Structure 1
Amino acid sequence: MTDTGTTASTGTTTAGTIEISGVGRTYTRGSKTVQALTGVDLSIRQGEFITLFGPSGCGKSTLLRLIAGLDTQTTGDISVFGTTPKKASQRKDIAWIPQSSALLPWLDIKANASLSSVINKRADRGATTRRPEDAVGILSEVGLGDFLSSRPDQLSGGMRQRASIARGFAQGAPLMLMDEPFSALDELTRDTLRIRLLELWEHHKKTIVFVTHSAMEAVLLSDRVVVMSPRPGRIREVVDVDLPRPRTWELTETPEFTAKVAQVKQILWSAWEGDE
């Protein structure tokens, strides 16, 4: 049975930061109807690192956009901190980190990472906003302390993505949604940023929902891996990653890590083959 939000020790249901119940998303394109998601149920607890894993077109990014309030489900319900995703976004509870760094090219890295502080100062005083965190401190945590005055075009792709991640953490939002942020980077840079991200997460205690098509990345980062089946996207199985933390690169060389990656891949292969 798929575990969508239970404690490992007792099996009892826990209150989630994110509650997803019976969610489906259907798009109409001309005369064609495309069912991107169907029957998605998931509970995500506060402080968890959750990965949505699956092949292209399985609805991972669609589900992430629904949680972010950037799209609206056709069926079912989504609750983020007890309210709708759009309201949670309006009160600055959600930070979004896309595939590309999306930095403003005319601002230096310090100014880019501090954007949320500037925006919040200009916001309606009656609105509920999150207090931004120390952008300079977080930039230093990701190794960019010596590049605060550099513009994005003066940095490598990996450095720009580090700045993007720092900006997300600096927003002060308790929930971070990350849509394949390392997919366009070379292998060595990806490996480095995975460890940097884990260090940030362990320090700042955020809830993270992370999209990837890499089983290794999913296992390295996550508390639980949500394996999704091909379209229409649904949750095939939720895998507990019962590996020790804090996680380092040495963990990837252990038999336990290799076995967990193989387990996640096998679930996906079974979904492709239609095994029930």
Structure 2
Amino acid sequence: MIYVIEYLLENKEARQIMDKNPMLAILIPHLRQARDLLANTRDTPQIILSPGQEMAIRQNLRKYDDEHDQANRIFEGLLALASRSTNDENVRAKADGVKASLLPYGLNVTRMKYVDEAGEASRLAKQIEDKEVADYLKSIEFKAHGINYNALEQANKIVKLGKEMHGCLLKLENKEAATSSPQTARNTFFRVIKQLKHSAEFSLSDQPKALEVLLSVLEESITSATPTPQPKQEEHPSPTENPSTPSVS
């Protein structure tokens, strides 16, 4: 199992694909932690989080998720408003293009797993670093119930909450690593690999070549790590020497 993870992390093609895709790049720390977890299962467990601390982290994770979902809904609404509030086809086309780029999954992002939501926030962070995109979002504002909503502020809020969620997930992963049994380590390995395949199929659906390469590397790593069963050899009894015939005198 350790070999599978190391093979994935060290394979140049697979690593380039993961590094370029935020939903996959965010899984790299989890792959490393799964590897370390497997390597350390023979050590004496040391609990680094009390039950109360773990509960607090999970509560924060749910709170950040709720706020993240709400920020995405407001962000989507502001981008939709920018498109629907004009009859100018060029302005509408630009607004629709920005929305499709920044929210490729629409509000489905609010129904993703925590790790995928954090990955989408990481992708958005890179996109709004572009000054033209940032300036455009800054120009979109709407006032409701005495509150001013700005698209750039909502985008930054999504990014910040995504980072907070990712931080909570890493703390929980560390806790699991510190208190794990060999079975827990194996379960973590299979969960991370399953998540990697799910995220790859989800985020690379429009890049079939990259998806094929990544999945083939994963399959190759698993195949290489699986011992080839040796054919059972038939056992033939060793011939016994004929007892010496006593001489007849």
Q: Which has the higher contact order (CA 8 A, sep 6+)?
A: 2
TM-score, normalisation: structure 1: 0.26
Indicate the structure with greater helix content. Answer: 2
